[in-house]
């Protein structure tokens, strides 16, 4: 995947990270009151999503998208954990899979993870000019050697 084809994927990752951050803002206050540790985790997650979106947008390095994928992947695991196991002060979340902001957050986080994976793996099967390399092309090139 060349620079031009990576750009839309990078922009998708940035947009999804911003949506993930925005989805957590309305629930920070209530969680700081009822389960302060989760409220603090939401603040950290929101901050991380905003910072990593900025880094991913302004830098061509893959560190931003990689970290964004890891952070959002961890957030998805955390969401699933709170829906499966009663966490302290959050027992009412068990089984509440379709909480609207939770769904928005998980979908946007999944998009971040998918975009990060695409950015990290997309360049391995491309030619120097940026055109996709098929298995047939790769086999023919190997046979010529």
Burial string for 104-129 (b: 16+ CB within 10 Å, else e) reads ebbebbbbbbbbbebbeeeeeeeeee
| pTM, two decimal places | 0.81
CA atoms within 13 A on the CB side of 28: 15
| Contact assessment for residue 105 and residue 79, using Cβ atoms and an 8 Å cutoff | yes
The domain spans of the chain are 3-144
- Closest by CA to 30, choosing from 101, 79, 84, 81, is 101
**What tens digit of pLDDT does each residue of 89-143 get?**
999 999 999 999 999 999 999 999 999 999 999 854 443 445 455 555 555 555 5
Q: Bridge-partner residues for 126, per DSSP? A: 132
**The token pair that represents 81 in the structure block:** 């954990």
| Contact assessment for residue 65 and residue 53, using Cβ atoms and an 8 Å cutoff | no
**What tens digit of pLDDT does each residue of 29-71 get?**
999 999 999 999 999 999 999 999 999 999 999 999 999 999 9
C-alpha–C-alpha distance, residues 136 and 74, integer Å: 38
């Amino acid at each position: 995947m060349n620079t031009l084809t990576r750009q839309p994927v990078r922009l998708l990752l940035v947009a999804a990270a911003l949506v993930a951050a925005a989805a957590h803002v309305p629930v920070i206050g209530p969680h700081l009151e009822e389960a302060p540790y989760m409220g603090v985790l939401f603040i950290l997650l929101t901050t991380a999503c905003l910072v990593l979106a900025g880094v991913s947008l302004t830098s061509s390095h893959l560190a931003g998208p990689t970290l964004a994928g890891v952070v959002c992947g961890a957030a998805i695991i955390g969401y699933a954990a709170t829906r499966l196991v009663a966490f302290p002060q959050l027992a009412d979340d068990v089984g509440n899979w379709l909480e609207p902001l939770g769904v928005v957050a998980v979908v946007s986080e999944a998009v971040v993870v998918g975009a990060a994976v695409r950015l990290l793996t997309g360049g391995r099967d491309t030619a120097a000019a940026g055109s996709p390399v098929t298995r047939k092309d790769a086999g023919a090139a190997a046979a010529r050697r």
